[in-house]
Amino acid sequence: MLVNVHRVVIVGGGFGGFYATKALRRAEAEVTLIDRRNFHLFQPLLYQVATGSLSPGEIAAPLRALLRDQKNARVLLGAAVGLDTSGKRLILDGGEIRYDTLIVATGARNFYFGHDAWESEAPGLKSIEDAMRIRGRIFYAFEAAERETDAKLRRAWLTFVIVGAGPTGVELAGALAEIARDTLRKDFRSIHTAESRILLIEGGPRLLSAFPDDLSAAAERSLTRLGIEVHKNARVSGVDRDGVTIEVQEGQQRIEARTFVWAAGVAAADFAGIVAKATGVKQDRMGRMMVNPDLTLPGHPEIFVVGDAANLEWHGHPLPGVAPVAMQQGRYAARAIKERLAGREPKAFRYLDKGNLAVIGRAAGVADFGRVRFHGWPAWLLWLTVHLTYVAQFRNRVLVFVRWGFQYLTFDRGSRIIPEREQEWEQKIDGQ
Amino acid sequence: MLVNVHRVVIVGGGFGGFYATKALRRAEAEVTLIDRRNFHLFQPLLYQVATGSLSPGEIAAPLRALLRDQKNARVLLGAAVGLDTSGKRLILDGGEIRYDTLIVATGARNFYFGHDAWESEAPGLKSIEDAMRIRGRIFYAFEAAERETDAKLRRAWLTFVIVGAGPTGVELAGALAEIARDTLRKDFRSIHTAESRILLIEGGPRLLSAFPDDLSAAAERSLTRLGIEVHKNARVSGVDRDGVTIEVQEGQQRIEARTFVWAAGVAAADFAGIVAKATGVKQDRMGRMMVNPDLTLPGHPEIFVVGDAANLEWHGHPLPGVAPVAMQQGRYAARAIKERLAGREPKAFRYLDKGNLAVIGRAAGVADFGRVRFHGWPAWLLWLTVHLTYVAQFRNRVLVFVRWGFQYLTFDRGSRIIPEREQEWEQKIDGQ
């Protein structure tokens, strides 16, 4: 290895950090990618793990295997727990590492707007474990309903509440409707799964607020057709083990339910707070750091922040927390480092909006490309193509395609294991 | 539903209980299959989940989906916790159910010969959770070694001890060797995974004791060629977080290691004890119930016991705890019930030994069909065919085939997620 080669340390192996690492492939630099987990996660398909369509292994690829052939990169399993900016040292759990340039790509976590106690009842969907938890609760609910003899409790077990109607909430609601109406239809003897109640609770005046009005309306029609009850302008004011309380225009409403999913908000992961404290940089109310136009921190040109950990104003709004933003920012940071190593000053980051896609259950979706926008099955087909193309980078395309093909034809979902842990959780509820 | 139709209750949805249920398809009976989990598990491939070749969903199929079209059967998620033989009632966690005939098919659990404390260090391989735990520890060990700077500790992280050289132990050792030598070879920067030490500890004088001598010897040669250290006549006398102690002819030996797998013994699951107490039937030292030649319990013709919960003498030895025995016994119990319903007395159970197969890593195996026996790649190919055929009954054949195909060509293993839980467990060790 060269002496005094430029050391780039990247924290986080999500879309931002992983694509930054890859883009440094030909840089005269020694790259270390640090993540608390040993895999890169294709988060846009996490809801498919939560609803039993895919296995965790199909959307998670070992970082090490992905970067096997990149000789200037190494991967370390570890958590970043501190930062010494003057010594340029990143503190790990059990160790430390020196950097010349640091890229912070630690992403987001679930955010409950000050109601952290709701997390145990209404898990969010950010990690593989979250997805397995939600999957377990969904499929356990039908099992519990089948056993339950009290009609009111049975009804509660068959009521599902999804909070937040962004892409994740909409996709989850659509998949859940398909599970209840098709997948499980003939599996039970005492209950009619198709009579399940699925509620989608949205605080704002419309679904998919990142999309134009007409597509929001189209998505709402698709969901309603699937039998999903959509509540707009509805704020959740309480979540407990027996149900949720929502505030609507007409006043307060109580919904008896047993299964809740939180898709209403995320905040920057905790490491952003450590960096903000060490550098004195400002955070927005979701914990994201206010970055310079070149994604560095004010006063710290050696620290880049990319993806969900950063707040960059773009045409008057912060960029959204989606995979394309993180990927473009990760690649930009890599390019900027290479420019600097070549003695040039990098230009500011520019975001290229390639459009917006969401699916709603089976063969329906919405697509927004500025002037061009459409919905229905063409949007769904496009979504399928785009996602298969990206997943391909992680080598599971054939498998995912085979599974989706089977599922489309048979309405079946192969991955319906209820994890032991969730079962214990549910039984604890029952026992109380 | 008919009034007074014969009620068959089956406890356990493994090979015994599931095949009993299926074989009752045309019986004039109301069948209830009860399991603590919502899926049937194809246990012979569990070691492939533990070593990252398959995902849990690929060897676990929802019992409900498998029995969807069997109108006289229903599935209940629940645990059997008691038995009232005079009232013919099975007590569940939160409920009870009446039976006319009961089939006990509760299988086996890991058994540590009185050293239950070893379980947390050396997990066995009976459940999906066991497999994920072992997988997490195996892949975490390499991560920890990569980070470790102390040579002695690094060596310990790269030492793997498998206790018990039955088919599970042999298959695990072979797969582990392939992981270390091929799969991970280029993934690390500070360690050489091929230098990992893999030890297989067997208490008896030879491997695969259920096979004839020459095949045991062939298996041992295959393992040795893969670099695995085989210790025979070696009794484990201690397992702690830093290593194992074994007693060999030359005296005591200490092996510093961090990753241990227990494949040395199983005992009947706990429900066997409840049944034995309620019926007064005798249990052997592994907790299995001594059954009549027709698999019923002495004095209780209405209770059948099949699979790993039963001890049936056959040519002077108890039948082994393998899937074919459980399947044949489950089907026999179903046939016996149908005979009785038709007013006939069933003949005694007869075991048809269809032969014995085991694989050793890549393209090697042993096959025993009495007079015909062979080893090497023909045995491996036969194993592949048999297992794909059986897995097919659970509808994942194409997927499993595609995955195995890829893996064979690329040496890769797609399912290498280290579960969060295991990571916490390991870090606790590190911190101590």
* A256-284 per-position pLDDT tens digit: 999 999 999 899 999 999 999 999 999 99
Euclidean distance between CA atoms B247 and A322, whole angstroms: 58
For residue B107, which of B22, B11, B210 has the smallest C-alpha distance? B11
Query: What is the identity of the amino acid at B120?
Result: S
**By percentage, how much of chain A surpasses pLDDT 70?**
91
Neighbour count for residue A2 (Cβ, 10 Å): 9
Give residue A272's Cα distance to chain centre: 18
The DSSP symbol for A233 reads S
DSSP for B230-248, please give it. Answer: EE-S-EEEEEETTEEEEEE
Q: In this complex, do A139 and B94 lie within 8 Å of one another by their Cβ atoms?
A: no
pLDDT band at A388 (very low <50, low <70, confident <90, very high): confident
Chain A residue with CA closest to B132: the answer is A419
* Cβ atoms of residues B33 and B67 within 8 Å: yes
* Cβ atoms of residues B243 and B160 within 8 Å: no
Chain A residue with CA closest to B411: the answer is A65
For residue A143, which of A193, A216, A93, A206 has the smallest C-alpha distance? A193
For residue A113, the distance in angstroms to the closest alpha carbon of chain B comes to 25
Q: In this complex, do B37 and A418 lie within 8 Å of one another by their Cβ atoms?
A: yes
DSSP for A334-382, please give it. Answer: HHHHHHHHTT-PPPPP------EEEE-SSS-EEEEETTEEEESHHHHHH
Helix B15-23 vs helix B323-341: angle between axes, to the nearest 10 degrees? 30
Q: What is the mean pLDDT of chain B?
A: 90
Tens of pLDDT, residue by residue over A236-257, are 999 999 999 999 888 999 999 9
For residue A112, the distance in angstroms to the closest alpha carbon of chain B comes to 22
pLDDT for A425 beyond 60: no
For residue B256, the distance in angstroms to the closest alpha carbon of chain A comes to 22
Alpha helix positions (H), A26-126: 46-50, 56-59, 63-66
Distances in whole angstroms, Cα of residue A380 to Cα of each of A88, A143, A374: 47, 31, 10
Average of pLDDT values for A352-358? 90
Contacting A residues, span 1-30, partner chain B, CB-CB under 8 Å: none
Instruction: Collapse the DSSP code of A414 into the 3-class scheme (helix H, G, I; strand E, B; otherwise coil) and give the result.
Output: coil
CB pairs under 8 A between A and B: 136
Euclidean distance between CA atoms B268 and B270, whole angstroms: 6
Euclidean distance between CA atoms B90 and A344, whole angstroms: 78
What global pTM score does this model have?
A: 0.89
Q: Which chain B residues contact residue A416 at CB under 8 A?
A: 38-39, 57, 62, 65
Tens of pLDDT, residue by residue over B224-235, are 999 999 999 999
Any B CB within 8 A of A212 CB: no
pLDDT (0 to 100) of residue A422: 66
The DSSP symbol for A299 reads T
Instruction: Collapse the DSSP code of A203 into the 3-class scheme (helix H, G, I; strand E, B; otherwise coil) and give the result.
Output: coil
Instruction: Collapse the DSSP code of A307 into the 3-class scheme (helix H, G, I; strand E, B; otherwise coil) and give the result.
Output: helix
Contacting B residues, span 162-201, partner chain A, CB-CB under 8 Å: 184, 186-190
Vertex B83 angle, CA B77 and B85, to 5°: 135
User: Phi first, then psi: what are they for B90, rounded to 5°?
Assistant: -100, 130
Euclidean distance between CA atoms A367 and A378, whole angstroms: 9
Average of pLDDT values for A18-27? 97
For residue A11, which of A310, A339, A392 has the smallest C-alpha distance? A310
Alpha helix positions (H), A226-343: 271-279, 323-341
Token pair of A324 as six digits: 């394309």
The DSSP symbol for B251 reads E
pLDDT (0 to 100) of residue A432: 35
Q: In this complex, do A37 and B418 lie within 8 Å of one another by their Cβ atoms?
A: yes
Euclidean distance between CA atoms B253 and B256, whole angstroms: 10
**By percentage, how much of chain B surpasses pLDDT 90?**
75
Neighbour count for residue A317 (Cβ, 10 Å): 8
Query: What is the identity of the amino acid at B62?
Result: P
Q: In this complex, do A412 and B37 lie within 8 Å of one another by their Cβ atoms?
A: no
Neighbour count for residue A408 (Cβ, 10 Å): 12
Distances in whole angstroms, Cα of residue A316 to Cα of each of A182, A206, A369, B208, B430: 44, 21, 19, 70, 48
Any B CB within 8 A of A150 CB: no
Euclidean distance between CA atoms A105 and A16, whole angstroms: 6
Helices and strands (H and E) in chain B: how many: 13, 27
Any B CB within 8 A of A58 CB: yes
DSSP for B268-309, please give it. Answer: E-THHHHHHHHHT--B-TTS-EE--TTSEETTEEEEEE-GGG
Q: Which chain A residues contact residue B427 at CB under 8 A?
A: 93
Catalytic residues of B: 171
pLDDT (0 to 100) of residue B59: 84
pLDDT band at A393 (very low <50, low <70, confident <90, very high): low
pLDDT (0 to 100) of residue B428: 46
pLDDT tens, N- to C-terminus, chain B (432 residues)? 445 899 999 999 999 999 999 999 999 999 999 999 999 998 988 998 999 888 888 788 889 988 999 999 999 999 999 999 999 999 999 899 999 999 999 999 999 999 999 999 999 999 999 999 999 999 999 999 999 999 999 999 999 999 999 999 999 999 999 999 988 999 999 999 999 999 999 999 999 998 999 999 999 999 999 999 999 999 999 999 999 999 988 899 999 999 999 999 899 999 999 999 999 999 999 999 999 999 999 999 999 999 999 999 999 999 999 999 999 999 999 999 999 999 999 999 999 998 889 988 777 899 999 889 999 989 988 888 888 777 766 655 556 666 666 666 666 666 677 777 666 655 544 443
Half-sphere exposure (Cβ direction) of A184: Cα atoms closer than 13 Å: 29
**Type and span of the H or E element at B109:** strand B108-110
* Residue B413 or residue A358, greater confidence: A358
Any B CB within 8 A of A250 CB: no
pLDDT (0 to 100) of residue A427: 53
Distances in whole angstroms, Cα of residue A11 to Cα of each of A304, A346, B163, B251: 11, 22, 39, 49
For residue B246, the distance in angstroms to the closest alpha carbon of chain A comes to 32
pLDDT (0 to 100) of residue B258: 96
For residue A411, the distance in angstroms to the closest alpha carbon of chain B comes to 12
Spell out a b/e string for A97-120, using b for 16 or more CB atoms within 10 Å of the CB, else e.
bebbbbbbbbbbbbbbeeeeebee
- Tally the residues of chain A: 432
Catalytic residues of A: 171
The torsion of the CA quartet B256, B258, B264, B267, rounded to 10 degrees, works out to 130
Q: In this complex, do A61 and B146 lie within 8 Å of one another by their Cβ atoms?
A: no
Among partner residues B129, B189, B398, which is closest to A420 by beta-carbon distance? B129
The DSSP symbol for A320 reads P
Vertex A171 angle, CA A372 and A43, to 5°: 95
Among partner residues B58, B62, B143, which is closest to A77 by beta-carbon distance? B143
Q: What is the mean pLDDT of chain A?
A: 90
Q: Which chain A residues contact residue B396 at CB under 8 A?
A: 414
A126 burial level (CB within 10 Å; 0-12, 13-18, 19+)? buried
pLDDT (0 to 100) of residue B424: 61
Q: Which chain A residues contact residue B406 at CB under 8 A?
A: 398
User: Phi first, then psi: what are they for A87, rounded to 5°?
Assistant: -85, -5
Q: In this complex, do A77 and B146 lie within 8 Å of one another by their Cβ atoms?
A: yes
Euclidean distance between CA atoms A347 and A317, whole angstroms: 20
A-interface mutation test, from B31, B64, B138, most A Cβ less than 10 A away? B64
pLDDT band at A390 (very low <50, low <70, confident <90, very high): confident
Contacting A residues, span 72-101, partner chain B, CB-CB under 8 Å: 74, 76-78, 93-95
Q: In this complex, do A187 and B64 lie within 8 Å of one another by their Cβ atoms?
A: yes
Euclidean distance between CA atoms A371 and B25, whole angstroms: 59
Helices and strands (H and E) in chain A: how many: 13, 27
Q: Which chain A residues contact residue B415 at CB under 8 A?
A: 55-57
Q: In this complex, do A187 and B65 lie within 8 Å of one another by their Cβ atoms?
A: yes
Token pair of B126 as six digits: 């009976």
Q: In chain A, how long is the greatest CA-to-CA distance?
A: 74
Q: Which chain B residues contact residue A187 at CB under 8 A?
A: 62, 64-65, 68
Vertex B373 angle, CA B357 and B225, to 5°: 70
Instruction: Collapse the DSSP code of B152 into the 3-class scheme (helix H, G, I; strand E, B; otherwise coil) and give the result.
Output: helix
For residue A99, the distance in angstroms to the closest alpha carbon of chain B comes to 17
- Tally the residues of chain B: 432
Q: In this complex, do A147 and B94 lie within 8 Å of one another by their Cβ atoms?
A: yes
Place of tokens 């966690």: B93
Euclidean distance between CA atoms A155 and A135, whole angstroms: 19
Q: Which chain A residues contact residue B143 at CB under 8 A?
A: 38, 77
For residue A189, which of B198, B55, B73, B265 has the smallest C-alpha distance? B73
Euclidean distance between CA atoms A25 and B172, whole angstroms: 36
Chain B residue with CA closest to A143: the answer is B77
Q: Which chain A residues contact residue B144 at CB under 8 A?
A: 77
Tens of pLDDT, residue by residue over B40-75, are 998 988 998 999 888 888 788 889 988 999 999 999
